[in-house]
C-alpha cells in the first residue's frame, strides 16, 4: 500500500507561517557567517535516490535533502524555523541543545499528485538574550534502507 499524500497545487505553500523580521523587543537575527547551514550526509544509499520521479504509489522515497526555507519571529513572539525536506522520514531536532518538535507540516509537490517532501515549521521558543543559537535536525527515512540526513545552522541574535 502506498504512502502518497495528495495535495492540490493551490495548497503547496499556502499555510506556511509568516515570519516577522524583529521581535517585540527589537531583536534581529542573522545566520552566522552568512551560511545557509551545513548539510551532513547520512548513512546508506550512497548512490542517492532522487524522490522527484516518485508517482505517489509504492514505498515512500528516502530523505535526500534538508535545507533552510524561512526563519524569523512567529505571531506568538517566539523564534521559528521552517525547513524543506525532500522525502519521507521522522526527525530528531534541537535548538540550543533543547529538544523541539515541529508545529506545522506542509507537503510540497514538484510534479504529479504525490508529495515529494514536506516543509516543517518549528517553534524554537522565546529568544531573550543576544547570542548564537544552534538549530540541529536529523531525519531518518521511513523505508528501507532508512537513510539519515542531517542539517545544522547557527542563528546569531542581536539587540538593536
What does the pLDDT average to over 109-122? 86
Burial label for 38, CB within 10 Å (0-12, 13-18, 19+), is exposed
4 in any annotated domain? no
- What is the rounded average pLDDT for all residues in the chain? 80
Cβ-defined contacts of 39-43 (< 8 Å, 24+): 39/65, 39/66, 39/67, 39/149, 39/150, 39/151, 40/149, 40/150, 40/151, 40/152, 41/149, 42/138, 42/147, 42/148, 42/149, 42/150, 43/147, 43/148
Residue 110's domain is classified under what CATH number? 2.60.40
Q: Residues of the chain with pLDDT > 70: what percent?
A: 74
Per residue in 26-49, pLDDT (tens digit) is 777 877 644 444 454 444 434 444
Position 160 pLDDT exceeds 80: no
Provide the 8-state DSSP code for 107.
E
Q: What is the pLDDT of residue 133?
A: 97
Q: Is residue 6 part of a domain?
A: no
Domain encompassing residue 103: 19-158
Strand partners, 73: 20, 79
**Count of domains forming the chain:** 1
Please indicate, yes or no, if residue 103 is contained in any of the structural domains: yes
Output 108 or 6, whichever has higher pLDDT.
Answer: 108
Higher pLDDT, 44 or 137: 137
By DSSP bridging, strand 131-141 and strand 148-158 are antiparallel
Say if 2 falls within a structural domain.
Answer: no
HSE value, Cβ hemisphere, 13 Å, CA-based, for 123: 10
Flag whether 38 is in a domain.
yes
Q: Find all residues with CB under 8 Å of 113, minimum gap 6, and list them.
A: 4, 6, 7, 55, 56
Given a cut of 60, whether residue 145 has pLDDT beyond it is: yes
Per-residue pLDDT of 62-87, as tens digits, reads 999 999 999 999 999 999 999 999 99
In a domain, 7, yes or no: no
CA 119 to chain centre: 6
pLDDT at 68: 96
| CA distance to 92, 119, 143, 144, 149, per residue, from 59 (Å) | 22, 20, 7, 9, 18
Average pLDDT over residues 114-141: 94
The per-residue pLDDT for 17 is 81
**Looking at the domain assignment, is residue 120 inside a domain?**
yes
pLDDT at 109: 83
Amino acid at each position: 500500500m502506498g504512502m502518497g499524500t495528495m495535495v492540490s497545487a493551490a495548497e503547496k505553500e499556502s499555510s506556511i507561517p509568516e515570519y516577522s523580521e524583529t521581535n517585540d523587543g527589537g531583536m534581529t537575527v542573522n545566520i552566522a557567517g552568512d551560511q545557509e547551514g551545513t548539510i551532513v550526509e547520512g548513512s546508506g544509499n550512497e548512490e542517492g535516490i532522487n524522490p522527484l520521479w516518485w508517482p505517489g504509489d509504492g514505498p515512500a522515497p528516502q530523505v535526500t535533502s534538508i535545507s533552510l526555507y524561512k526563519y524569523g519571529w512567529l505571531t506568538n513572539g517566539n523564534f521559528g524555523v521552517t525547513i524543506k525536506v525532500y522525502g519521507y522520514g521522522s526527525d530528531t531536532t534541537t535548538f540550543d541543545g533543547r529538544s523541539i518538535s515541529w508545529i506545522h507540516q506542509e507537503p510540497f509537490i514538484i510534479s504529479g499528485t504525490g508529495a515529494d517532501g514536506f516543509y516543517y515549521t518549528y517553534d524554537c521558543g522565546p529568544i531573550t538574550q543576544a547570542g548564537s543559537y544552534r538549530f540541529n535536525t536529523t531525519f531518518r527515512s521511513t523505508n528501507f534502507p532508512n537513510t539519515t540526513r542531517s542539517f545544522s545552522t547557527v542563528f546569531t541574535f542581536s539587540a538593536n
